[in-house]
Copies of this chain bind each other. A is one copy, B any other.
């Protein structure tokens, strides 16, 4: 589980920052979007939370079937949703074995290629960091100027 612990601390070094940003978004700004064609803040956050969980679960189960599954209901309060999904994601990452991290998963239909569990986790990290980068601009536009570093060392 040593490798799982490394992924867990890598995940948390970014997710903690995501969650700090989410706390700054009041309910009245859930529909905020910087342009007409942008994803609204609430939808962007939900996309981040559910995607990482789904990627981690796919690594755990070794099958792309997770991509067709329905999600558990998402708390309408974004900070509560962030807490719930972070907790569930921590559980899955912590449980990953070396075999699961090295196992190849056929993701041809979803990504056009095979990925190992650990390659999929790296893609999940990149996806989180990318959308967190979007979110930083959103939160500044909502009116916050006291923003965290992009990665947490705490």
- Please name 17 further chain A to chain B contacts, defined as beta carbons within 8 Å, in addition to the given A113-B153, A127-B150, sorted by A numbering: A34-B137, A37-B145, A38-B137, A125-B126, A126-B129, A126-B150, A126-B151, A129-B129, A129-B130, A129-B133, A130-B130, A130-B133, A130-B150, A130-B151, A131-B133, A134-B137, A137-B137
Query: What residues make up the interface of A, taking CB atoms closer than 8 Å to B?
Result: 14, 34-35, 37-38, 111-113, 123, 125-127, 129-138, 140-141, 145, 150-151, 153
B residues in contact with A132, CB < 8 Å: 130, 133
B129 contacts A35, CB within 8 Å?
no
**CA of A126 to CA of B150, assembled, Å:** 9
Query: Which residue of chain B is the closest to A14 with respect to CB atoms?
Result: B126
B residues in contact with A140, CB < 8 Å: 34-35, 37-38
Work out how many copies of this chain go into the complex.
Answer: 2
Tell me which of A135, A137, A150 has the highest count of chain B C-beta atoms within 10 A of its own C-beta.
Answer: A137
Q: For chain A, what secondary structure do more than half of its interface residues adopt (helix, strand, loop), or is it mixed?
A: helix
**CA of A129 to CA of B151, assembled, Å:** 12
A34 contacts B34, CB within 8 Å?
yes
Expressed in whole angstroms, the minimum distance between the Cβ of A117 and any Cβ of chain B is: 17
Looking at the complex, which one of B113, B126, B133 makes contact with A134 (CB distance below 8 Å)?
A: B133
Expressed in whole angstroms, the minimum distance between the Cβ of A93 and any Cβ of chain B is: 17
Q: Can you list 6 A-B contacts (CB < 8 A)?
A: A34-B137, A37-B145, A126-B150, A133-B133, A133-B134, A133-B136
Expressed in whole angstroms, the minimum distance between the Cβ of A120 and any Cβ of chain B is: 13
